[in-house]
Amino acid sequence: MSLIELRNISKSYKGLTLFENTSVSFEKEKIYGIIGHNGSGKSVLFKMICGFVFPDHGGIFVNGEELGKNRRFPENFGIIIDKPGYLGDKTGFENLRYLADIQNKISDEKIKETLEKVGLHYTIKQKVKDYSLGMKQKLAIAQAIMEDQEVLLLDEPFNALDVDSVENIRGLLKSLNNEGKTILLTSHNNEDIEVLCDHVFRIRNYKLEQIK
Ligand SMILES: Nc1ncnc2c1ncn2[C@@H]1O[C@H](COP(=O)(O)OP(=O)(O)O)[C@@H](O)[C@H]1O
Ligand SMILES: [Mg+2]
Protein backbone atom coordinates (compact mmCIF):
# COMPACT_ATOMS: atom_id res chain seq x y z
CA MET A 1 0.00 0.00 0.00
CA SER A 2 1.27 3.46 -0.92
CA LEU A 3 1.68 6.09 1.75
CA ILE A 4 -0.20 8.66 -0.33
CA GLU A 5 -2.29 7.89 -3.38
CA LEU A 6 -4.09 10.37 -5.60
CA ARG A 7 -6.73 8.48 -7.53
CA ASN A 8 -8.20 10.11 -10.67
CA ILE A 9 -8.27 13.57 -9.16
CA SER A 10 -9.28 16.84 -10.81
CA LYS A 11 -9.72 20.29 -9.32
CA SER A 12 -11.26 23.26 -11.14
CA TYR A 13 -11.31 26.97 -10.38
CA LYS A 14 -13.36 29.26 -12.63
CA GLY A 15 -12.72 27.46 -15.88
CA LEU A 16 -9.18 26.39 -14.96
CA THR A 17 -8.81 22.64 -14.51
CA LEU A 18 -5.83 21.43 -12.52
CA PHE A 19 -4.57 17.82 -12.63
CA GLU A 20 -7.30 16.56 -14.93
CA ASN A 21 -7.90 12.92 -13.99
CA THR A 22 -4.45 12.46 -12.42
CA SER A 23 -3.38 9.34 -10.54
CA VAL A 24 -0.07 9.17 -8.71
CA SER A 25 1.35 7.39 -5.67
CA PHE A 26 3.99 8.38 -3.16
CA GLU A 27 5.87 5.68 -1.27
CA LYS A 28 7.26 5.69 2.28
CA GLU A 29 10.78 6.87 3.05
CA LYS A 30 11.42 8.54 -0.29
CA ILE A 31 11.99 12.19 -1.20
CA TYR A 32 9.74 13.52 -3.97
CA GLY A 33 10.12 16.82 -5.75
CA ILE A 34 7.40 18.66 -7.64
CA ILE A 35 8.50 21.41 -10.00
CA GLY A 36 6.16 23.96 -11.52
CA HIS A 37 5.91 27.63 -12.44
CA ASN A 38 4.03 30.14 -10.32
CA GLY A 39 0.34 29.36 -10.55
CA SER A 40 0.88 25.83 -11.89
CA GLY A 41 -0.90 24.16 -8.98
CA LYS A 42 1.82 23.18 -6.48
CA SER A 43 0.12 24.65 -3.45
CA VAL A 44 -3.30 23.36 -4.49
CA LEU A 45 -1.80 19.88 -4.83
CA PHE A 46 -0.40 20.02 -1.29
CA LYS A 47 -3.63 21.48 0.10
CA MET A 48 -5.47 18.48 -1.32
CA ILE A 49 -2.92 16.02 0.09
CA CYS A 50 -3.37 17.44 3.58
CA GLY A 51 -7.16 17.75 3.41
CA PHE A 52 -7.46 21.56 3.36
CA VAL A 53 -9.06 21.42 -0.09
CA PHE A 54 -10.99 18.57 -1.68
CA PRO A 55 -10.67 17.50 -5.31
CA ASP A 56 -13.83 17.86 -7.44
CA HIS A 57 -13.35 14.35 -8.73
CA GLY A 58 -11.39 11.36 -7.48
CA GLY A 59 -9.95 10.74 -4.05
CA ILE A 60 -6.85 11.18 -1.91
CA PHE A 61 -5.82 8.16 0.14
CA VAL A 62 -3.34 8.28 3.01
CA ASN A 63 -2.28 4.88 4.32
CA GLY A 64 -5.24 3.45 2.41
CA GLU A 65 -7.80 5.69 4.06
CA GLU A 66 -9.67 8.24 1.94
CA LEU A 67 -9.53 11.82 3.20
CA GLY A 68 -12.94 13.35 3.73
CA LYS A 69 -14.65 10.08 4.60
CA ASN A 70 -13.93 9.17 8.21
CA ARG A 71 -10.77 11.22 8.32
CA ARG A 72 -10.55 14.89 7.44
CA PHE A 73 -6.81 15.45 7.92
CA PRO A 74 -3.96 12.96 7.69
CA GLU A 75 -2.06 12.23 10.89
CA ASN A 76 1.65 12.70 11.40
CA PHE A 77 2.22 15.33 8.73
CA GLY A 78 4.54 18.31 9.18
CA ILE A 79 3.44 20.98 6.74
CA ILE A 80 4.44 24.24 5.09
CA ILE A 81 1.93 25.59 2.59
CA ASP A 82 2.16 29.02 1.00
CA LYS A 83 3.32 31.66 3.43
CA PRO A 84 2.71 30.75 7.04
CA GLY A 85 1.48 33.46 9.40
CA TYR A 86 3.28 34.36 12.60
CA LEU A 87 2.79 36.58 15.62
CA GLY A 88 5.08 39.48 14.71
CA ASP A 89 5.54 40.80 18.23
CA LYS A 90 6.87 37.47 19.49
CA THR A 91 10.25 35.90 18.93
CA GLY A 92 10.73 32.86 16.71
CA PHE A 93 11.06 30.72 19.81
CA GLU A 94 7.80 32.07 21.25
CA ASN A 95 5.98 31.44 17.98
CA LEU A 96 7.13 27.81 17.91
CA ARG A 97 6.34 27.43 21.62
CA TYR A 98 2.81 28.69 20.92
CA LEU A 99 2.30 26.34 17.96
CA ALA A 100 3.76 23.40 19.88
CA ASP A 101 1.33 23.96 22.75
CA ILE A 102 -1.69 23.74 20.44
CA GLN A 103 -0.88 20.19 19.40
CA ASN A 104 1.31 18.32 21.76
CA LYS A 105 3.98 18.96 24.27
CA ILE A 106 7.45 19.63 23.01
CA SER A 107 10.20 20.71 25.36
CA ASP A 108 11.92 24.08 25.12
CA GLU A 109 15.11 22.11 24.46
CA LYS A 110 13.55 20.46 21.42
CA ILE A 111 12.47 23.85 20.05
CA LYS A 112 15.94 25.30 20.58
CA GLU A 113 17.52 22.27 18.96
CA THR A 114 15.21 22.68 15.95
CA LEU A 115 16.01 26.40 15.65
CA GLU A 116 19.67 25.45 15.63
CA LYS A 117 19.15 22.86 12.89
CA VAL A 118 17.59 25.44 10.56
CA GLY A 119 20.22 28.05 11.44
CA LEU A 120 18.11 30.42 13.57
CA HIS A 121 19.64 29.88 17.01
CA TYR A 122 21.53 33.19 16.89
CA THR A 123 18.25 35.16 16.60
CA ILE A 124 16.71 33.82 19.78
CA LYS A 125 15.84 37.30 21.13
CA GLN A 126 14.69 38.82 17.83
CA LYS A 127 11.01 39.44 17.13
CA VAL A 128 9.57 37.81 14.02
CA LYS A 129 8.39 41.18 12.60
CA ASP A 130 12.10 42.03 12.28
CA TYR A 131 12.91 38.77 10.49
CA SER A 132 13.95 38.78 6.84
CA LEU A 133 12.00 36.66 4.35
CA GLY A 134 14.68 33.96 4.50
CA MET A 135 14.52 33.87 8.30
CA LYS A 136 10.73 33.47 8.18
CA GLN A 137 11.24 30.65 5.73
CA LYS A 138 13.63 28.91 8.15
CA LEU A 139 11.10 29.35 10.93
CA ALA A 140 8.48 27.69 8.71
CA ILE A 141 10.82 24.76 8.17
CA ALA A 142 11.46 24.54 11.92
CA GLN A 143 7.72 24.51 12.58
CA ALA A 144 7.19 21.70 10.05
CA ILE A 145 9.94 19.45 11.45
CA MET A 146 9.84 20.16 15.19
CA GLU A 147 7.26 17.51 16.06
CA ASP A 148 9.18 14.70 14.35
CA GLN A 149 6.31 13.97 12.01
CA GLU A 150 6.62 10.95 9.73
CA VAL A 151 5.70 12.83 6.55
CA LEU A 152 6.90 16.30 5.59
CA LEU A 153 4.95 18.29 3.04
CA LEU A 154 7.10 21.31 2.25
CA ASP A 155 5.78 23.84 -0.24
CA GLU A 156 8.73 25.80 -1.68
CA PRO A 157 11.00 25.32 1.36
CA PHE A 158 13.98 26.92 -0.40
CA ASN A 159 12.23 30.20 -1.21
CA ALA A 160 14.18 33.27 -0.14
CA LEU A 161 17.10 31.21 1.23
CA ASP A 162 20.67 32.16 0.37
CA VAL A 163 23.03 29.61 -1.18
CA ASP A 164 24.55 28.43 2.11
CA SER A 165 21.15 28.09 3.72
CA VAL A 166 19.84 26.07 0.77
CA GLU A 167 22.83 23.76 1.24
CA ASN A 168 22.17 23.47 4.98
CA ILE A 169 18.45 22.77 4.58
CA ARG A 170 19.15 20.22 1.84
CA GLY A 171 21.50 18.40 4.24
CA LEU A 172 18.91 18.59 6.99
CA LEU A 173 16.19 17.11 4.76
CA LYS A 174 18.57 14.38 3.61
CA SER A 175 19.33 13.41 7.20
CA LEU A 176 15.63 13.41 8.14
CA ASN A 177 15.02 11.12 5.16
CA ASN A 178 17.84 8.85 6.35
CA GLU A 179 15.99 8.61 9.66
CA GLY A 180 12.97 7.32 7.72
CA LYS A 181 10.89 10.41 7.02
CA THR A 182 9.00 10.69 3.76
CA ILE A 183 9.37 14.11 2.18
CA LEU A 184 7.37 15.81 -0.58
CA LEU A 185 8.58 19.22 -1.60
CA THR A 186 7.86 21.72 -4.33
CA SER A 187 10.03 24.24 -6.08
CA HIS A 188 9.91 26.52 -9.09
CA ASN A 189 13.65 25.89 -9.45
CA ASN A 190 14.82 22.57 -10.81
CA GLU A 191 18.35 22.82 -9.41
CA ASP A 192 17.18 23.19 -5.83
CA ILE A 193 15.62 19.78 -5.82
CA GLU A 194 17.02 17.48 -8.47
CA VAL A 195 20.09 16.52 -6.41
CA LEU A 196 17.98 15.86 -3.35
CA CYS A 197 14.99 13.95 -4.65
CA ASP A 198 14.59 10.25 -5.49
CA HIS A 199 11.73 11.10 -7.84
CA VAL A 200 10.74 14.33 -9.54
CA PHE A 201 7.47 15.42 -11.14
CA ARG A 202 6.91 18.47 -13.28
CA ILE A 203 3.59 20.25 -13.59
CA ARG A 204 3.12 21.20 -17.21
CA ASN A 205 -0.15 22.38 -18.74
CA TYR A 206 -1.67 21.75 -15.30
CA LYS A 207 -0.76 18.05 -15.46
CA LEU A 208 1.82 16.09 -13.50
CA GLU A 209 4.50 14.30 -15.47
CA GLN A 210 7.26 12.23 -13.91
CA ILE A 211 10.73 13.28 -15.06
CA LYS A 212 12.84 11.23 -12.62
N1 LIG B 1 -9.19 29.36 -3.90
C2 LIG B 1 -8.93 29.60 -5.19
N3 LIG B 1 -9.81 30.23 -5.98
C4 LIG B 1 -9.57 30.47 -7.29
N5 LIG B 1 -8.45 30.08 -7.91
C6 LIG B 1 -7.51 29.46 -7.18
C7 LIG B 1 -7.71 29.18 -5.79
N8 LIG B 1 -6.61 28.53 -5.32
C9 LIG B 1 -5.77 28.41 -6.38
N10 LIG B 1 -6.32 28.97 -7.48
C11 LIG B 1 -5.69 29.01 -8.82
O12 LIG B 1 -5.11 27.75 -9.10
C13 LIG B 1 -3.87 27.91 -9.77
C14 LIG B 1 -2.76 27.19 -9.03
O15 LIG B 1 -2.51 27.86 -7.79
P16 LIG B 1 -1.35 27.43 -6.79
O17 LIG B 1 -1.46 25.99 -6.52
O18 LIG B 1 -1.39 28.35 -5.64
O19 LIG B 1 -0.04 27.71 -7.68
P20 LIG B 1 1.50 27.52 -7.26
O21 LIG B 1 2.05 26.48 -8.18
O22 LIG B 1 2.15 28.86 -7.52
O23 LIG B 1 1.54 27.13 -5.83
C24 LIG B 1 -3.63 29.40 -9.91
O25 LIG B 1 -4.05 29.81 -11.19
C26 LIG B 1 -4.53 30.01 -8.85
O27 LIG B 1 -4.97 31.28 -9.20
MG1 LIG C 1 2.36 28.01 -4.23
Q: How far apart are CA 165 and CA 43, in angstroms?
A: 22
Q: How far apart are CA 139 and CA 92, in angstroms?
A: 7
Ligand 1 atom closest to the CA of 40, numbered from 1: 21
Q: How far apart are CA 201 and CA 4, in angstroms?
A: 15
Q: Is the pLDDT of residue 83 over 80?
A: no
Burial class (CB in 10 A: 0-12, 13-18, 19+), 110: middle
C-alpha 45 – ligand 1 centre gap (Å) = 9
What's residue 139's pLDDT? 96
What's residue 87's pLDDT? 87
Q: Residue 145: what are its φ and ψ, rounded to 5°?
A: -100, -10
pLDDT digits (tens, 9 = 90+) for 173-201: 999 999 999 999 999 888 878 889 999 99
Q: Is the pLDDT of residue 114 over 80?
A: yes
Task: Report whether residue 204 contacts ligand 1, using a CB cutoff of 6 Å.
Answer: no
Count CB neighbours of 125 within 10 A: 8
Ligand with minimal distance to 155 CA: 2
Pocket test for ligand 1, best of 9, 43, 153 (most atoms within 8 A of CB): 43
Ligand with minimal distance to 202 CA: 1
pLDDT digits (tens, 9 = 90+) for 43-77: 999 999 998 899 999 999 999 999 987 778 888 89
